[in-house]
Amino acid sequence: MPFCVIKSRTIKIFLAMLVVVILLCISFEGGSSAQVWFGSSSRLVPIYSVDTEEKQVAISFDAAWGADKTEEIIEILEEYNVTATFFLVGFWVDKYPDMVKKIDEAGLEIGTHSNTHPDMVKLDEETIRQELTTSIDKIKNITGKEVSVFRAPYGSYNNTLLNVCSSLGLKTVQWDVDSLDWKGLSASEVTDRVMKNAKNGSIILMHNNADNVCDSLRLTLDWLTMKGYKVTSVGELIYSDNYTIDANGVQHKN
């Protein structure tokens, strides 16, 4: 009898662990984020990268302060015949409407990076919605195009933010390759970080006004091209429907 009691407890522990593992792997289709369970609470997860066999990566630029390097970035992207995504803050759009127009006319994707670049997790639902809709309207008024992707300032997010994004038809996009160009790294240091971390389906984070962004972009594109990667916008890389996102933020096609 003691043996049976021990065996029963062992089985119960095993089953409990199995349930936890299964729940951690749960994700929901069609939204801009995945939902995974931790005990009695759930956490939504945005897109960090894409599961794909194609040698394809996306380059993205966050734009909040300054624009003096942006036109050269556009020219470099055109020179290499690649696309990219610019995540624009609303007050940047206000200050540089002509540059927004140039980005759009170059065929580059524009997403929102909020309206005032706050830490979104510190805002209530109504303020979050206002941040997003205000920035989207500013972009649409210039480009006449819908905005479908969003990147949270500081990469900070919570369930409230991601739920609001989903309700607005926005896919929340993070990154899995951080260039750290905003730290003033040299062009070779930035490229080295990309070389060490990029893989099929990676989303690369850069900043439009980083000190060495133009030189690092050229070196990065040289390396990606040499390795046979197709460089696209975020919208071209991610799946628009019929997908799941795992607990690590990797988007999978069903």
Mean pLDDT (whole number) for 34-55: 78
What residues are paired with 57 via a beta bridge? Answer: 231
Where do the H-state alpha helices sit in 25-124? 70-79, 90-95, 97-105
Write down the residue that tokens 């593992």 correspond to: 21
Residues found in the chain: 254
Report the helix count and the strand count for the chain, using DSSP H and E: 9, 13
What's the pLDDT score for residue 99?
98
Provide, for the chain, the percentages of residues in helix, strand and coil under a 3-state DSSP scheme, each rounded to the nearest 5.
Answer: 45, 20, 35
Contacts of 154 (CB under 8 A, 6+ apart): 119
3-state secondary structure of 42: strand
Q: Note the pLDDT tens digit of each residue in 212-226.
A: 999 999 999 999 999
Q: Note the pLDDT tens digit of each residue in 87-134.
A: 999 999 999 999 999 999 999 999 999 999 999 999 999 999 999 999
Yes or no: say if 149 and 85 are a contact pair by the CB < 8 Å rule.
Answer: yes
Q: Note the pLDDT tens digit of each residue in 165-192.
A: 999 999 999 999 999 999 999 999 999 9
Domains of the chain: 2-44 (no CATH), 46-253 (3.20.20.370)
CA distance 178 to 198: 10
Which amino acid belongs to residue 133?
Answer: T
| pTM, two decimal places | 0.86
CA distance 172 to 253: 17
CA distance 61 to 41: 33
What's the pLDDT score for residue 43?
87
What's the pLDDT score for residue 9?
60
Which amino acid belongs to residue 111?
Answer: G
What's the pLDDT score for residue 33?
62
